[in-house]
């Protein structure tokens, strides 16, 4: 089997697998993206506050 035939077989199998994929709807993609953004912001604020509090506690203990 030559290289071109292997590439052709590979691309054919990729196309077959992509056709089987269950793609999410646009509504699902948008809602999950918004959810991830909100959760990322909430987690960032939480970690920022935790860092600030721990920093202040360490300053009090070490000074």
- With respect to residue 6, please indicate whether it lies within any of the assigned structural domains: no
Q: pTM for this structure?
A: 0.66
- With respect to residue 42, please indicate whether it lies within any of the assigned structural domains: yes
pLDDT at 26: 96
pLDDT tens digits, one per residue of 7-52: 999 999 999 999 999 999 999 999 999 999 999 999 999 999 999 9
- With respect to residue 53, please indicate whether it lies within any of the assigned structural domains: yes
- With respect to residue 14, please indicate whether it lies within any of the assigned structural domains: no
- With respect to residue 3, please indicate whether it lies within any of the assigned structural domains: no
Q: Which domain holds residue 48?
A: 24-63
pLDDT at 34: 98
pLDDT exceeds 90 at position 1: no
pLDDT mean over 4-9: 93
Phi (first) and psi of residue 24, to 5 degrees: -75, 155
- With respect to residue 41, please indicate whether it lies within any of the assigned structural domains: yes
Domains contained in the chain, number: 1
Q: How far is CA 1 from CA 5, 6, 9, 56, in A?
A: 6, 7, 10, 68
């Amino acid at each position: 089997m030559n290289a071109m035939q292997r590439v052709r077989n590979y691309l054919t199998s990729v196309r077959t697998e992509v056709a089987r994929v269950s793609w999410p709807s646009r509504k699902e993609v948008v809602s999950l993206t918004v959810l991830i953004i909100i959760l990322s912001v909430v987690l960032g604020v939480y970690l920022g506050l935790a860092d600030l509090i721990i920093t202040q506690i360490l300053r009090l203990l070490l000074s």
